[in-house]
A and B are shown apart, each in its own frame.
Chain A
Amino acid sequence: MLVHVPGPWSPLLGRLALSEIPYKNLILAPLFVLIVLVGLALVGWITKRGLWGYLWREWFTTVDHKKLGIMYIFLGLVMLFRGFIDGLMIRTQQMLAVGPGDNGIKAMGAIHGYLTPFHFGQIYSAHGLIMILLAATPLLVGLMNIIVPLQIGARDMAFPYLNALGFWITAAGAALIMISLFVGDFSHNGWFGYAPIFEMSYSPGVGVDYWIWTLELIALGTTLGSINFLATVVKMRAPGMTWGRLPVFTWSAVSANIIALTSFPCLQVALALVGADRYLGTHFFTAGFGGNLMLYTNLFWLWGHPEVYFVILPAFGMLGEIIPTFSEKPLFGYVAMVLATFAIAGVSWIVWLHHFFTMGMGPYVSTEFSVATMLVGIPTGVKVFNWAFTMYRGRISYTAAMHWALGALFLLLIGGLTGMMLSIPAINYMVHNSVFVVAHFHMMLLCIVYAVFGAVIYWWPKVFGFRLNEAWGKIMFWLFSAGTALVFIPMFMLGFMGETRRLDWPFDPHWAGLFDVQEFGIAIYVLSVVSFVVLLFVSIRDRAKERVGADAWGTSRSLEWLTDSPVPFYNFAMVPEINARDEVAWRREHGFLDIRPDHYKAIHMPNNTPVALYIGATLFLLGFALTWRIWWLSGIALLATVALMIWRSAKGDPGYVISAEEIARLDREARQKMPVDGGDTVPVGGFAGGQIMAYSREVSDQDRSHRGPKSW
């Protein structure tokens, strides 16, 4: 039954051996030392400041949707950085390796450039997987996590514990791919995997196994999250929040999570079948023995295309919140916008085949998928025009957030138009698997990144209580945009010149100049990363000056701006009654914005729990043990996971109650901390959610008095 692995295997350590640790590699070994040093410094710092208890109580065990959202975004940013470094390495390799002859750096064992083909293959595979599933997805899920419950007037997600579970499982996936840097190899055959190269006979190492289990973990985490979002929006809306009043970002979250819920199982199955081939010796995707290579490709893109819309739709939703706020107008064509969102979500299911027109399925099938793909352009166009008409005759203020939103629109245009070109089979046969395709989808994914940066700037004050520095936000925008132009315009050109994707050795010397331009663009991207750090530093240093009240921008419209900034851990002291589509704009218009409730009611809140973290840890162990075929550890990890679930279910969570008087006191305090009518500023920052554990049933009075650092 079990596949016999080539190379050594021991019952205790599986395939793991000291030789799997690349301590001789001139890149990885110093990197490892660096990471260990930074890690030690961090641990030392936390210990010295005595922050472990605080971290454990307020973050690691939290079930608060805002804190989980912040952790999702943090994870997404870290992985975005990792993916960026991968991209930088890919670009540098191509710039160095271009041209005939062997120009490689011999000390690194490379014939061309500085990376061996095998190492290069791992980097580009990791880059793609990380950027789509561990950078874009967590960033978007994190923003949805924070904003969706606030926009519908809920106290939390429908299932707070499930929310934590989803996060920790995703984090386990991230940890697994990170550990593949230093223990063994990662997959070298692309982020989506080619059949049958990932079969045991062609990829005997552990790389593909890492790839399988990383994806499985992320898929599991995301599916759990999508169940939670849908239940939250359907069941937890405040009174008066009818479907016709739902903010567009929440609508986009609904559509995106319907996609996620229905499509991620396809990915799970596709990869489980690859796993069956590699572990159990089945023949799903083998060449020969009745296997079918294209079955894999179909199953993968059956998930893969809906997935790209799963990531773009929330980004569209963010634009739908940012643009009206800074145009001081309600969104143009709300109903059309919602319908367009769902039209896109629906069509996303019937176009997967455009990722492999070259499979050659004949004119009828190709035409269907070609036309279906082009149909996506209609609702997308509707959206673009709606945003344009929202701005038309609006009072536009060019804030940093607005810069990013407008940049996203621009990229959407380029990405959409090149997508239209690709959807014509006759053109597709010419440019498929060239870097033209790569440039197309980077326009799309960068559109998402732009929207996310805009959204982070836009919602930051809601979460932390102060605005980010406008000037640095714009500097970062322009640097980032210059980088985008310099990297991807040459990439479109190279695509037309016939450069195929994933070349570790671009042989044609005519490409050299464009590679140099791209490398220059990457250097500017590096500057924009630096400016992002400066942006955070400057903003946090000056946070007292930028302290804001509930309505941080003064022109915001949807419900999340009704509650205090930073948002208290119970979200709303009293659940608001919704009277209009843009509730906050409506209250502002009628002079109700500053009215606070005159009495309060007790609130029931869920307790913190470490079980989600434990399950994330056991699943990480499971993935690691399966990758290395350490059967006893896999068994233990699996049993531990099940046992933890049963234990949690037996224990249950009665939650705890905050009395009405306590809410009244907290609300009074929160009001005192907020600046009065944009006048005097009060120098208090802090996190959304504040110090929850101070109110939890389970902590002693001593814990209560010690509430961790006040601000940071």
Chain B
Amino acid sequence: MSSSETVVDPDKVRLWSEDYEGHDVISTRTFGFWMYVLSDAMLFATLFAAYGVLSYPHSYYTGPTPAQFVAPWYTFVQTMALFLSVLVYGWAMASLKDGNKSGVINGLLGALVLGILFLALDIHDVMRLVAAGITPEVSGGLSAFYCLTQVHAAHIFAGLIWIIVMLWQVARKGFTEDVVGRLISLRMFWQFQAVMWVFIYVFVYLWGYMS
């Protein structure tokens, strides 16, 4: 801090910034989206905590435990579908760097198809369980199982809608600042959901299968 003894030359001091260009829109948005991802991470963390608390043997009441119904190989196919979707999305982003519009659209389409595959497999799995009478109403443990996995599926569903919206916007608007910013955010969202899936796969499916 300056004290009043120091003399400041009024001609040299800069009071107003002449060359301030304003802030960088894309980097601000990306930062903001990072913040959203952080809050989403907390959401999943809380769900994992609830799952952990509700995975004692008595949490399953008289119903089945995951060891009796999860199918890690089936969900492994899901894992691959989601990972490939993220990879293909990455190609879309690589095309974005070259300004290659059809590359971006093809990448988004690929990511979309693989994401739909993931979701279809998930729905199929849920239907298999429900048909076997394994529903969330059976026990607290099953409630937590369904909640964790289906909240993730809901995120995937939202992501798919977002991909469709972006396909349309890229086709119609090209690479405006808005569109590019959203493509970057969507990539973060998509990768983050894949990371969450890794946790779910390990803790719910693999671990559940083995315990």
Binding site for B on A (CB under 8 A): 1, 158-159, 162, 223, 226-228, 230-231, 234-236, 238-240, 261-266, 268-270, 273, 276-277, 280-284, 286, 288-292, 295, 298-299, 302, 330, 574-577, 579-582, 586-587, 589-592, 595, 597, 604, 642, 646, 649-650, 652
Contacts and interface: CB of A to CB of B under 8 A. Distances in A.
A579 B13 contact: yes
B150 to A, nearest CB: 10
Contact of B32 (A159, A286, A291, A302): A159
A646 B165 contact: yes
Contacts of B54: 284, 290-292, 295
B136 A281 contact: yes
Interface string B119-146: 0000000000000000111111101101
A283 B53 CA distance: 13
Interface stretch (B37-45, B72-80, B191-199, B201-209): B37-45
A580 B2 contact: yes
Given A231-B32, A234-B31, A269 B1 contact: no
A520 to B, nearest CB: 45
Contact of B46 (A159, A269, A580): A269
B118 to A, nearest CB: 21
Nearest to A280: B136
A592 B15 contact: yes
Interface stretch (B21-29, B85-93, B94-102, B107-115): B21-29
Contacts of B146: 282
B71 interface: no
Interface string B39-69: 1101100110110011000111101000000
Contacts of A226: 35
9 contacts: A235-B28, A261-B38, A261-B39, A268-B43, A273-B50, A280-B137, A289-B140, A290-B60, A574-B16
Contacts of B60: 290
B17 A238 contact: yes
A574 B138 CA distance: 64
Contact of B31 (A235, A266, A577): A235
B185 to A, nearest CB: 11
Contact of A595 (B15, B38, B141): B15
A78 to B, nearest CB: 28
- Would you call the interface of chain B mostly helix, strand, loop, or mixed? helix
A283 B63 CA distance: 12
A650 B176 CA distance: 12
B15 A231 contact: no
B53 A269 contact: no
A649 B139 CA distance: 42
Nearest to A228: B32
A604 B25 CA distance: 12
A474 B148 CA distance: 54
B141 A290 contact: yes
A262 B46 CA distance: 11
Contacts of B187: none
B4 interface: yes
B124 to A, nearest CB: 18
A309 to B, nearest CB: 16
Nearest to B140: A290
Nearest to A585: B1
Contacts of B140: 282-284, 286, 289-292
Nearest to B60: A290
Contacts of A604: 22
B43 to A, nearest CB: 4
B147 interface: yes
Contact of B59 (A263, A268, A292, A597): A292
Nearest to A334: B1
A279 to B, nearest CB: 11
B169 interface: yes
A133 to B, nearest CB: 17
Contacts of A235: 23-24, 27-28, 31
Contact of B13 (A263, A592, A597): A592
Given A236-B23, A577-B14, A227 B36 contact: yes
Contacts of A273: 50, 147
